[in-house]
Structure 1
Amino acid sequence: MTAPHLPPSMRVLERGWLSSNNILFLGREQTALVDSGYLNHAAQTVALVAHGLQGRPLDRLLNTHLHSDHCGGNAALQQAWRCHTSIPAGQAAQVRSWDRDALSYNGTGQQCAPFSFDDTLQAGDQLTLGDMQWQVLAAAGHDPHSLIFYCQEHGILISADALWENGFGVIFPELDGESGFAEARATLELIATLDVRLVIPGHGAPFSGVAAALDTAFSRLAYLAADPQRNAQNAIKVLLKFLLLERQQIKLTEVPAMLASLPLAAAANRRYLQRSVADLSEWAVAQLLRAGAAEIRDGFLYNRH
Structure 2
Amino acid sequence: MKVSRFVFNMFGVNTYVVWDPESLEAAIIDPGMIDERERNALDGFIESRGLKATQLINTHSHLDHIFGNTYIKEKYGLEIKAHPADAFLANTLPEQSALFGLRMSLTPQGIDVELHDGDTLFLGKERMEVLGVPGHSPGGIALYCPESNFVITGDTLFPGSMGRTDLPKGDYATLADAIRRKLLTLPDSTVVLSGHGGETTIGNEKKSNPFLK
- SS class of match (1:203): coil
- Report the equivalent of 1:133: 127
Residue segments in structure 1 that go unaligned for 5+ positions in a row: 1-6, 223-305
Tell me which amino acid in the other structure corresponds to 2:60: H
- Report the equivalent of 2:5: 12
> 1:43·1:76 contact (CA, 8 Å) conserved in 2?
no
Correspondences of 1:141-290 after superposition (within 5 Å): 141-172=135-166, 180-190=171-181, 191-195=183-187, 196-208=189-201, 210-217=202-209, 219-220=210-211
Displacement of 1:68 in angstroms is: 0.8
TM-score, scaled relative to structure 2:
0.81
- 1:20-77 CA deviation, whole Å, 9 max, x = no partner? 2111123316322010116xx3433321221221254533211000001110111222
- SS class of match (1:170): coil
- 1:109-151 CA deviation, whole Å, 9 max, x = no partner? 4554433543111111101136421111111121121111111
State the aligned residue count: 205
Structure with higher strand content = 2
- Report the equivalent of 1:51: 44
Tell me which amino acid in the other structure corresponds to 2:130: V
Partner Cα separation in structure 2 for residue 143 and residue 17 of structure 1:
20
> 1:141·1:184 contact (CA, 8 Å) conserved in 2?
yes
When residues 211 and 43 of structure 1 are mapped into structure 2, their CA distance, relative to the original with a 3 A threshold, is same
- Report the equivalent of 1:231: none
Q: Does 1:37 align with 2:28?
A: no
Instruction: Compute the RMSD of aligned alpha carbons.
Output: 2.8
- SS class of match (2:142): strand
Tell me which amino acid in the other structure corresponds to 2:174: E
- Report the equivalent of 1:3: none
> 1:24·1:52 contact (CA, 8 Å) conserved in 2?
no
- 1:206-254 CA deviation, whole Å, 9 max, x = no partner? 233x32334444x2367xxxxxxxxxxxxxxxxxxxxxxxxxxxxxxxx
Tell me which amino acid in the other structure corresponds to 1:44: R
Radius of gyration: which is bigger? 1
Tell me which amino acid in the other structure corresponds to 1:81: Y
When residues 105 and 129 of structure 1 are mapped into structure 2, their CA distance, relative to the original with a 3 A threshold, is farther
TM-score, scaled relative to structure 1:
0.59
> 2:63·2:93 contact (CA, 8 Å) conserved in 1?
no
Identity %: 21
- Report the equivalent of 1:237: none
